[in-house]
Amino acid sequence: MVDCASTIAAMNRLLSLVVVLCLAVSPLHAAKETRVSWQELASRIQGKTVALVLPDGVHVQGQVADVRSDALKLNVSKTSDKHLHPKGELTLPRASVRNLTYWKRGYVWTVVGTAIGLGAGLAGGSAVNTYAHNEGDGAPGIVAAIIILPAVLGFFLGRSGDRKSVNIVVTD
């Protein structure tokens, strides 16, 4: 028979490890700043979703359609002022594009978070399964939830750790 106190202690240690790993991922969200010329800008952001603040103070976000020598074409999907800059195609003059942000996704923390969550779920699920079988006919639904939920939580925490923003400052 499995001792409930030792199972709870093991789960607490595992939960503490997950919390420490989540706190370790937090500094990785710091934005990296890159200075590029207008000529280099196209190779960096073509086809990516970017966000920027326009000279009139409106925040826009959208996918880069084209970077021409005199302007940036953007397919706006989010805007802070629908009257000044509605959703849809927007051509921004070169002089109005000074700072913009795009996001990169990795995969390392997603894999690590999912693995830790799955390990925690398997440890907890096997303990609960053993206890449930000793007490009666078991609880397969509860055991499945105990295994799957930490893995899903680990996936989402890891995925958020893999999202990094890159700030671009246009130098000319």
CATH code, 33-102: 2.30.30.100
Spatial contact of 153 and 20, defined as CB atoms under 8 Å apart: no
DSSP labels, 39-67: HHHHHHHTT-EEEEE-TTS-EEEEEEEEE
What's the order of all strands across the beta sheet hosting 99-105?
32-36, 163-170, 99-105, 49-53, 59-67, 71-79, 88-93
Q: Tell me the C-alpha to C-alpha distance, in Å, between residue 32 and each of 62, 101, 135.
A: 20, 10, 55
What was the pLDDT predicted at 123? 86
What was the pLDDT predicted at 21? 61
* Tens-digit pLDDT profile for residues 114-157: 999 998 888 888 888 777 766 666 677 888 888 899 999 999 99
- Rounded to 10 degrees, what is the CA torsion of 66, 68, 70, 71? 0
Structural domain spans, the chain: 4-29+106-166, 33-102
* Tens-digit pLDDT profile for residues 41-90: 888 888 899 999 998 889 999 999 999 989 999 999 999 999 998 999 99
What tokens were used for 63?
């996918």
